[in-house]
Structures are given as structure tokens and as C-alpha cells.
Amino acid sequence: MSKEKHYSRRSVLQTVAAGVIGSSIVSDLSLGEERQPSGKINGNLKQSVCKWCYKDMSVEQLAHEAARIGLKSVELLAPDDWPVLKKYGLTCAMGSGAGPIESGLNRKENHERWIHNLQRHIELAAEMGIPSVICFSGNRNGMSDEEGMENCLIAIKQVVGLAEKKGVNVCMELLNSKVNHKDYMCDHTAWGVKLVKQVGSPRFKLLYDIYHMQIMEGDVIRTITENWDYIAHFHTGGNPGRNEIDDTQELNYKAICNAIVEKGYGGYLAQEFIPKRDPMTSLTQAFRICDV
């Protein structure tokens, strides 16, 4: 990920007023009518947005826009960025920065770094009221899924006690190994659920990425409902392409979100699509689709 630029709130507003920020990152001071949220917000599902999908925006700019739309979080941010969100009444629903996707918990040589970083992030998350932090299995690189699971279990057991004490979730993300993350180990719900069962803690669960699991296994609503006890967080994304979640793609996000709400879900669903059109118009549209 590229290093992000940081702007003060005053400089952002001054720059917008001057009309020199691109149309993809303007604030509500210059938004067209079509980009303004309208109508009653149901609010049955707390929504978040993943920062990496908006690389031309600072954390402050995206937080400002997210709050305007009605989202409750900007996520996949490292701890240094968490305080920025407080100014806009937001949280970071899923903290990031503990380690790279491909070099994860399935290899013992990665454990010291991962355990240290996870412990630090759990402590910071508890202090800042951040509900969850992310972790990854890592790639196979010739390792069997059985050995990888055992190694993940060894590492997670060393941090889950602290997570329980601090009231913070540690979530391993399910990713596809077919298109975006070749060779990633935690690429099927069944593998992730088996690991969660072996850990045996209410503070270790899965981040169910709907886009990724549509690619790997489909049958999204049934899979979610049958594995409900092992999931703590959701990500979106249109398939194919990981773009807008509207009728240009194959997933019915309104039906998926209805199923999640009907289960009494109290966590977050994060928009993680890469917009092809005006970013804030698309984010507002996605918010409305999922606001069931």
C-alpha cells in the first residue's frame, strides 16, 4: 500500500473550497445533489468502509465523507490513524497493520513478529474502543493445510487469552486463492471454521469476505447462516471485478444483508469494493443497498 498523505481538517476544507481537489475526493461542500444521502436510514446494520479502496483520499477526508453518508467506521487502518476517526464520531471496526497477508500465522518463523504485533494491537484496540483486529493465515508455499492449521493454532493460543481479557476480537480473514491471493491458505469457510473450533474462544472468529467466498464456494447466504457462530465481521465487493455492489454484478447484497440482520447480527459490515465511478456516489449507493 502506498504511503498516504495527511491533511488537517482546515486544509481539506480550504482546498475543497478552492476547487483544486479532484472530483473523486471532494467533500460535501461541493457534492452534487445525486451524491447526498436521502430518505430514512434504517440503521439495522452497522456499516464500515475499507480505506485501501480510496487511495486518493486521506483518512480524514474519507472519515468526513463516511460520517456524512451514515457509516459508523473506516477500517483496515493502523493504530496511528485510529484517533483521527474520533473527530467524526467513527470507530475503526477492524484494525490492521499486524502483518502481511502472504506471510502469516501458518509458519512458525513468523510467530514472534505476529504475536508481538497482535498483542500490541489488542492492547491499543482496548484503549481506543476498537472492536476487532485482523490476522491472516499466510500462503501455503507447499505446506499442507493440516500443518498450517496446527501452526496457526499454536500462535493464536498465545494471544487469545489477552483478547478475552481486553474484550477485543481477533479475526482471520477468508480470502480467495483463485483470483486475488494466489496460494492463500484460509481460502474456504470450512478450513476457517475448523480452526475457530480448535481455538475454542469467543474472541477468535472469522472475517467472512462475501466477495472472496463467492469466488471460492458461492452459496453465500446458506454458508453464512450455517456457520453463524464462527463469524464476527463481513466485507463486501461486487463479483466479478470487485467493483460496485449494484446490479452490474452477480451478488444480491440486499438479500444477503437481510439474512445477516435476521440473524440478529450486532457487528459491522464493511464496504470493500473498488469504485469505477464517482467514489462517494458509489459508496452512498452501496450504503443504501445494505441499509435493510
CA distance 283 to 281: 6
CA distance 292 to 279: 21
pLDDT tens per residue across span 74-84? 999 999 999 99
Contacts of 80 (CB under 8 A, 6+ apart): none
Amino acid code (one letter) for 291: D
Query: Which pLDDT value is given to residue 267?
Result: 98
Query: Which pLDDT value is given to residue 38?
Result: 57
Nearest to 155 by CA among 94, 206, 104, 207: 104
Q: Considering the entire predicted model, what is its pTM?
A: 0.87
In degrees, rounded to 5, the angle at the alpha carbon of residue 270 between the alpha carbons of residues 212 and 145 is 35
**CATH tag, 45-290:** 3.20.20.150
Q: How is residue 110 annotated by DSSP?
A: G
Each domain of the chain, given as residue ranges in start order, spans 45-290
pLDDT tens per residue across span 31-72? 333 444 557 999 999 999 999 999 999 999 999 999 999 999
